[in-house]
Structure 1
């Protein structure tokens, strides 16, 4: 049994980004427990929680560690696998087991007494809705491109025609998609009003005024520490061909610093990966914020700084 206050890292086995921070915590002699609850809890790990009037306690056991869950100082919700239930069960039983794990183990891990979350899983989920992001960004003082979310084809076409600089389409969620059995990504793409068909009525679509950008910026926020990177790419969506993009550090203007702080506070986030389109006039337009976005692809010095900032958050624990 570990008598120190451990950091609990919830992520999958193949998450090499987490490894960067785990090495830093090891160097600082901070006890760490790594768990992928969607997989580990049906391959030998166990989780128990007991609730009584005036008392809550429990134990997490993994292949190498045993931890009092009331003494977890911080929880880093990185990239855990979905709860799918143990293999070998029939489809109905596996779905039942997966749901019980989500609502049982997921509920325990989201309510550890006194733990500091980076980020809390429920706050992560709430912050993933793009309409909520845009609404929050507007209130927090960001510049926001004109945007419509609709399943009305006529409204979509009318919006597109009314944007002299053009319109882009963005999926509202990164749903797994296959064509001829092969995975396909749906990138941000420019569309014309004449290309918008009645198929829009199948589900809500997000159309946004195209920003006449000079470059993109990723701002990674860890608490009150911001790390800005300018992204120069030949593509409208720089994620499409990341081997062609060039990244260099960039200063974040004070107006964006204030808006980022307000955004994190409103959505109760400690970490956020903000994407901006910056015009030739120097205007920073908010595009989205991924509450659990990847960050280790950035220049080495930026990646190292972000890793140290996350390690600092996890080491300090509650009250940060």
Structure 2
């Protein structure tokens, strides 16, 4: 058995990562798990030296030590933002940025390591404008889209066709202290006012869909599930308890486009969302380069855990 470890970088509570680690343990693949943003520099430490072959040295976490040059793969799941001990003052902010660029920089430059996916590639691909431009260039069908902070432009666009608003980034949002999601929702010209000018807004043509498709790509494997929501639901994520799932095949041409999309951004994983119309046309909505998949594996019977473990174990696209 190859004794090189897989490094899993994620937050403490992550059942999705747990499933992959369990599968790797079953295969007797060594795994080191840590949350760099919280563990370093107290519960984890690093000593990295630059050599002609790249970074060498040791990373220690959870009382285990691995050689940096021997890490076969890094599974960058959902690590916490980098913080530093102490108050919230300037010194702590400086230390947190040094940690991100020091430890994070070394972990992003490991020799011979497969990244699922590289943190910098994930960060680049999270920008929806870049996603939409790439999708168009690859021949995917994309709804008419406007990104603006101009209330007049927004009113004109929403008057031209049925329109939805969606956030450009799905960050944590709280209402009365409780976490809440900002879902895609229909919007009409009369609902818009000068508050549009406070930030960038994404408006998009509302597709007359009959279902949605979530396509999860791992390396070169593509797994698709047709998602049916109750009538009138625009964003299926708001109705998890009332959804039905069906595994479906991905059209060959679409598979090639998705693989080219990942290659464009340097990714080995992507969770794509499509709206499907009555004529079976798939409309590209977005790609989450680090999207959740655990619930979908169970709901649609898709072997995503196996595919991810295969990729991490083999260190090559499968």
Task: Determine if the TM-score, normalized by the shorter chain, exceeds 0.5.
Answer: yes
Matched, 1:223 2:219: yes
**Range with bigger deviation, 260-269 or 48-57:** 48-57
| Residue equivalent to 1:64 | 63
Q: Offset at 1:54?
A: 5.4
Q: What are the residue-to-residue correspondences of 1:86-165 with 2, within 5 Å?
A: 86=85, 88-163=86-161
**Number of equivalenced pairs:** 316
> What SS class does the counterpart of residue 106 from structure 1 fall into?
helix
Q: Which runs of 4+ in 1 moved over 6 A?
A: none
Matched, 1:202 2:201: no
Please give the TM-score of this superposition, normalised by the length of structure 2: 0.95
Q: Deviations over 1:96-120 (max 9, x none)?
A: 2211111111101111111000000
- For 1:218 and 1:319, the matched residues in 2 are separated by 21
- For 1:272 and 1:319, the matched residues in 2 are separated by 14
> What SS class does the counterpart of residue 142 from structure 1 fall into?
coil
Q: Offset at 1:90?
A: 4.5
Preserved contact between residue 220 and residue 317 of structure 2 (Cα < 8 Å): no
Q: Offset at 1:183?
A: 2.8
| Residue equivalent to 2:81 | 82
Preserved contact between residue 296 and residue 302 of structure 2 (Cα < 8 Å): no
- For 1:316 and 1:140, the matched residues in 2 are separated by 29
Matched, 1:5 2:4: yes
- For 1:108 and 1:82, the matched residues in 2 are separated by 16
Q: What are the residue-to-residue correspondences of 1:1-320 with 2, within 5 Å?
A: 4-53=3-52, 56-86=55-85, 88-163=86-161, 166-234=162-230, 235-300=233-298, 302=300, 305-318=303-316
- For 2:157 and 2:180, the matched residues in 1 are separated by 27
- For 1:279 and 1:207, the matched residues in 2 are separated by 19
- For 1:148 and 1:49, the matched residues in 2 are separated by 46
Please give the TM-score of this superposition, normalised by the length of structure 1: 0.94
Can you give the 5+ residue segments of structure 1 that lack an aligned partner in the other structure? Answer: none
- For 1:126 and 1:65, the matched residues in 2 are separated by 32
- For 1:299 and 1:178, the matched residues in 2 are separated by 29
- For 2:80 and 2:54, the matched residues in 1 are separated by 30
- For 1:252 and 1:30, the matched residues in 2 are separated by 31
Change (3 A) 1:126 1:213: same
RMSD over equivalenced CA pairs, Å: 1.8
Q: Offset at 1:55?
A: 5.2
> What SS class does the counterpart of residue 5 from structure 1 fall into?
coil
